[in-house]
Amino acid sequence: MEHFTSSLKENEDDSDVESIESKASPPNITWQHTWPFNETENALTQSVFARIPSEIMLRIFKLFSVPDLCNVSL
């Protein structure tokens, strides 16, 4: 009986490891958009954020999560 319960525990331990590994896989990024340099430059110079010092902008962006940063549009 002990052998049976120990083999069940081993199987449970293996399933936990597999589920943890599957959750840790990196996201699959399939879409990327790039803007022409002049369009990006014009957008940044006309943005209200252009007046905010870089040091403050860096402090603000440190608070964002990765999914939030993916959705940022200045």
pTM: 0.33
CA distances from 47 to 17, 28, 63, 66, 71 (A): 48, 31, 21, 23, 17
For tokens 């940063």, the residue is 69
Q: What are the residue boundaries of the structural domains of the chain, listed by start?
A: 2-70
Encode pLDDT of 47-74 as tens digits: 787 888 989 988 988 888 888 877 776 5
**pLDDT confidence of 36, banded at 50, 70, 90?**
confident
Percentage of the chain exceeding pLDDT 70: 57
**Residue 41's closest CA among 54, 50, 51?**
50
What pLDDT was estimated at residue 55?
92
Q: What CA–CA distance (Å, rounded) separates 47 from 61?
A: 16
